[in-house]
Structure 1
């Protein structure tokens, strides 16, 4: 019995040492992996007063994307923007503006997502009144001139038109905006300002007669 115990004890002790060594190795690897993930989540560079411009083939400005701060994250190769501002141009003149609290740019730069107090403004022209859209999330495809959201939107247009809906798709090239669900429209017919001047003028003419 003693001889059998003398043989088994070294084997048992070696097994315990092997298990302890394995446990230590796994623990170290897990800790290293956690630290590596934590480090990879850290940004590798950032810029302040960021601004990028894309031009058309003829040299005119297509759009300008700017932000107070731009931070790049190497883990997923994404870019985060603080206070982003997207300005679309037509004939080198700003035609619309999109701004918000935070922005994210995809790896290939083909998609820009803006969240937190998003405001879209179509600037007033000689033929079109000013229009504004408000939501809390908007995805922009700059090179396709498209934008969309599944979130609630509120649209106002001068002088007194208000539209509320859930979800919106906008295709600028084709000039089509599609509201997806629960569309409600409030419209007030504008009052002609010159109506009040008609009667006094008529009275003056009658007096001359």
Structure 2
């Protein structure tokens, strides 16, 4: 073999080694990017999110709005919301408006976990007094207009205040609110 062909073989092998090293580095970057995408990074998001649910007659049964919505592909609870507002409409009474700090809507849309401070309001009418409920960590089932929590809850209507631990509530007719334990009330009569 000549000196030139030996040099060529060494250069070729060195180039092949460098190319192999570069390919392993490059595929490592691709793998890191795949892990990044499949990790805790959102696969889509929205600002000013709105979701409507209709009843059998085509009327709006409930509405979920949020300042922000973020979906994570690897998360069993599919949709995370900031400042969600859930509204339950009733034919004969004002709507119930449920406001929370954050919320997580299940993948199938059947459960909404409202986290942090949660406020439930119903406006007054001629026949009904305004009702405000303060609680936290409320699990809402939009399909059945039902909610429950194990946390402390406070019901305020006019000058009446009732508190307790744990609450079950139905937002549709017949409206039902039940405090589960340690119930105390302060009622003013005129």
For Structure 1 versus Structure 2, the TM-score category normalised by the shorter chain is: 0.7 to 0.9
The structure with more radius of gyration: 1
2 CA distance for matches of 1:55 and 1:94?
A: 17
* Counterpart for residue 147 of structure 2: 147
* Counterpart for residue 61 of structure 2: 62
Query: Displacement of 1:37 after TM fit?
Result: 7.3
2 CA distance for matches of 1:127 and 1:92?
A: 11
* Counterpart for residue 179 of structure 2: 179
1:43 aligns with 2:42: yes
Conserved? CA contact 1:60–1:92, under 8 Å: no
Conserved? CA contact 1:41–1:75, under 8 Å: yes
1 CA distance for matches of 2:89 and 2:189?
A: 31
Q: TM-score, normalised by structure 2?
A: 0.76
Higher RCO (CA 8 Å, separation ≥ 6 residues): 2
Conserved? CA contact 1:118–1:138, under 8 Å: yes
1:123 aligns with 2:123: yes
* Counterpart for residue 100 of structure 2: 100
Query: Displacement of 1:46 after TM fit?
Result: 0.2
2 CA distance for matches of 1:39 and 1:59?
A: 38
Answer 1 or 2: which has greater helix percent: 1
**Structure 1 moving runs of 4+ over 4 Å:** none
Structure 2: gaps of 5 or more residues: 1-30
Q: TM-score, normalised by structure 1?
A: 0.70
2 CA distance for matches of 1:36 and 1:87?
A: 38
2 CA distance for matches of 1:105 and 1:169?
A: 19
* Counterpart for residue 189 of structure 2: 189
Structure 1: gaps of 5 or more residues: 1-31, 191-209
Corresponding residue SS for 1:127:
coil
Paired residues in the alignment total 158
Query: Displacement of 1:126 after TM fit?
Result: 2.2
Query: Displacement of 1:91 after TM fit?
Result: 3.2
1 CA distance for matches of 2:55 and 2:116?
A: 30
Conserved? CA contact 2:66–2:81, under 8 Å: yes
